[in-house]
Amino acid sequence: MKKADVVVLGGLSGITAGVSCKRHYPEKKVILIRKEDTILIPCGIPYIYGTVGGPGNNVIPDGLLEKNGIELIKGEAVDVDRTNKIVSLADGETIEYDRLVFATGSGPLVPPIPGVDKKNVFSVKKEFDYLSDILEALIKVKDLVIIGGGFIGMEFADECRKGRDINVTVVEALPHCLQMAMDNEFCDEAQVKLEEAGVKILVNEKVEAILGNDSVTGVKLASGNEIKADMVILGIGAVPNTELAKKSGLELGFHNTIKVDRYMQTYNDPNVYACGDCARKVSFFDGKPSAIMLASVAASEARIAGANLFSPIHQNHGAISVFSTVINGRAFGVAGMTERIAKEKGIKVVTGMAEAPDTHPGGMPNSTLTKVKLAFAKDTGTLLGGSISGGKPVGEMVNVLSACIAHKMTADDMVIFQMGTHPALTSSPIVYPIVNAAEEAIVLSKNR
């Protein structure tokens, strides 16, 4: 039997938890157990089918573990004896631990649609060989239908059409693609960009059945219409991998995630921690359970878990929800609450909007118009969230907004925000859109 101070179960967030532990407690022996031979970058999976060119270009090297002194065991954990602190693997090997971290992630949500088990119907599994099979199958595909117009579906649609003579259709049940993540004006903008790339988008449509004998030949919609398809990709969402946690007697909560406190410690075992998609999330804003599953949130939780294994160092203050994507060359990002979500929660909101080129002057090469929308609580002026579209700077601008949200900055604070600018890198300080959007919100608030 092997022994370790810390045993980590899982992949991507497990790596971060292990590295965090070694940084804080370099003397501790850490073993990471995973059943996958190769770990993929989850957010990069859609880009395997276009920009990146294959799953081999979207992996996290195991050298990161070796560099940090973490032992890797490739195998499947099938049992956890919490009384005796022993993890058992499928091959019979056992490992004794002092602290255990569940970082088992999530898997794709597969809806109970008739025909979902047909050949050439794929969910988005985080498995190297499985994703390679999708890439191989795409060679002969002429008509691709993607079920789900969230980030996964929209990114797959954008990437799969690159370099291929292929008809791509996205089917979304809601009135807008990306509606769960962005306000309508940004949803519409993203949809237009994808349609400009030749992708057909059907909203307010539900898939009733996947047609064909052994292999898919089409998709039947609830409206009665049928779409031709020789491949279907399911991009509907994810579910936590918590079967082993449940078997081991850990308490599960919202959406079958492992219940943890602000130190990422499980509710009913002080020696077991959990982080990432398998762990319960709460909102930064109200502390209520959240269904957010983002790699950035998982990494933050993993750092907290790793640091706290032998001493309470960090606290998790809840998920702000920060994300970005690129649709046909246009970047979209959101931090915190959208105006829609805030109003659904009954919050009185004041919004401010501003636009400016991301260079100054705007005539510089590769300049892109940046659009910013900020949502503030009317009663306190505190920033609730922000949405941005534009060029590559959007990816970091939403991170700035996340920091503002985390520190509960108000519109007044943001108006006097001092930014570093450069003609080739940012908007002009005179029209810096984050500041100008905040100022507009102040003016609108006073005039109401």
Other CB atoms within a 10 A radius of the CB of residue 193 amount to 19
Return d(Cα 35, Cα 14) in angstroms, integer: 12
Q: Which two tokens stand for residue 273?
A: 């921690």
Residue with tokens 């505190």: 382
Q: Which two tokens stand for residue 223?
A: 């409206």
Q: Identify the DSSP state of 173.
A: S
Q: What is the DSSP string of 242-311?
A: -HHHHHTTPPB-GGGPBPB-TTSBBTT-TTEEE-GGGB-EEBTTT--EE----HHHHHHHHHHHHHHSSS
User: Does the bond joining 361 to the residue before it have cis omega, within 30 degrees of 0?
Assistant: yes
Query: Regarding the domain with residue range 110-236, which homologous superfamily does it belong to in the CATH classification?
Result: FAD/NAD(P)-binding domain (3.50.50.60)
> Three-class SS of residue 52?
coil
Strands in 200-202's sheet, in edge-to-edge order, are 121-122, 231-234, 143-147, 167-171, 200-202
Q: Are strands 167-171 and 94-103 parallel, antiparallel or unpaired?
A: unpaired
**Span 247-267, pLDDT tens digits:** 999 999 999 999 999 999 999
Contact 410, 380 (CB under 8 A): yes
Q: Identify the DSSP state of 138.
A: G
- pLDDT below 50 — which residues of the chain? none
> Three-class SS of residue 388?
strand
Contact 135, 55 (CB under 8 A): yes
SS (H, E, C) 79-105: EEECCCCEEEECCCCEEEEEEEEEECC
Topology match between the domains 2-106+239-308 and 110-236 = yes
Contact 163, 54 (CB under 8 A): no
Domain locations along the chain: 2-106+239-308, 110-236, 329-446
> Three-class SS of residue 194?
helix
Q: Which two tokens stand for residue 22?
A: 């070694």
Contact 279, 257 (CB under 8 A): yes
Return d(Cα 26, Cα 35) in angstroms, integer: 25
In 83-222, at which residue ranges do the beta strands (DSSP E only) sit? 86-89, 94-103, 106-108, 121-122, 143-147, 167-171, 200-202, 207-212, 216-221
Cβ contacts of residue 243 below 8 Å, gap of 6+?
A: none
Residues facing residue 80 across a β-bridge: 87
CATH numeric code, 2-106+239-308: 3.50.50.60
Q: Which helix (H) or strand (E) holds 117?
A: none
Whole-number pLDDT of residue 448: 65
Predicted TM-score (pTM) of this structure: 0.95
Q: Classify residue 224 by burial, with Cβ atoms within 10 Å: 0-12, 13-18, 19+.
A: exposed
Return d(Cα 194, Cα 203) in angstroms, integer: 13
Residue with tokens 């109401």: 448
User: Of 150, 107, 125, 103, which Cα lies nearest the Cα of 298?
Assistant: 103
Assigned CATH class of 329-446: alpha beta
Return d(Cα 433, Cα 427) in angstroms, integer: 8
Return d(Cα 372, Cα 385) in angstroms, integer: 11
Angle at alpha carbon of residue 143, lines to 58 and 178, rounded to 5°: 60
Q: What is the DSSP string of 403-416?
A: HHHHTT-BHHHHHT
**Span 84-126, pLDDT tens digits:** 999 999 999 999 999 999 999 999 999 999 999 999 999 999 9
